[in-house]
Structure 1
């Protein structure tokens, strides 16, 4: 059911990430990689509301983190897997 979630509604451009001392493009790319990875890892039958909430957590958790400019793909993968595995801790009713 994840096909009902439009990933492009979450993707960001460098214009919306704020000031990152010239690293806005990299930060936007990293955020978009997190969005795509989380979407890809989510099971096919995930409830759309659940996936939307999880995708919304990406911005909430990452936009203020200095590590966003330096994060590696392996760390993104680990974070997304952890979020999906522990989703009950993060989701609101």
Structure 2
């Protein structure tokens, strides 16, 4: 159930994300926007474990991507929606 996942436990700070050549603030904003968007889009009755696994995809997928600081909110929304709609495929690709 969604209410058992505390989204604030996932949010990052500049100390966590590492060196981004002066773009640390933008990267923090984008990663945290991913987490908030994903959480907001997830249905209320999503299994807690499934939501946690899907939220882990955000860090695993995006932290090394050069385009991260420049992503538009629409791109973040679209990615989150895609992952939720195709969750079975994404969960099969994880090492859980």
TM-score class, shorter-chain normalisation, is over 0.9
The list of structure 1 runs, each at least 4 consecutive aligned residues, that deviate by more than 4 angstroms after superposition, is: none
TM-score normalised to the size of structure 2?
0.94
Gaps of 5+ in 2: none
Q: What residue is the counterpart of 1:21 in the other structure?
A: 21
Q: What residue is the counterpart of 1:90 in the other structure?
A: 90
CA RMSD of aligned residues (A): 0.9
Q: Secondary structure at the match of 2:15?
A: coil
Q: What residue is the counterpart of 1:40 in the other structure?
A: 40
Q: Deviations over 1:16-74 (max 9, x none)?
A: 11111101011011000000000000000000000000000100000000111100000
TM-score normalised to the size of structure 1?
0.96
Q: What residue is the counterpart of 1:73 in the other structure?
A: 73
Q: What residue is the counterpart of 1:11 in the other structure?
A: 11
Gaps of 5+ in 1: none
Q: What residue is the counterpart of 1:62 in the other structure?
A: 62
How many residue pairs get aligned? The number is: 93
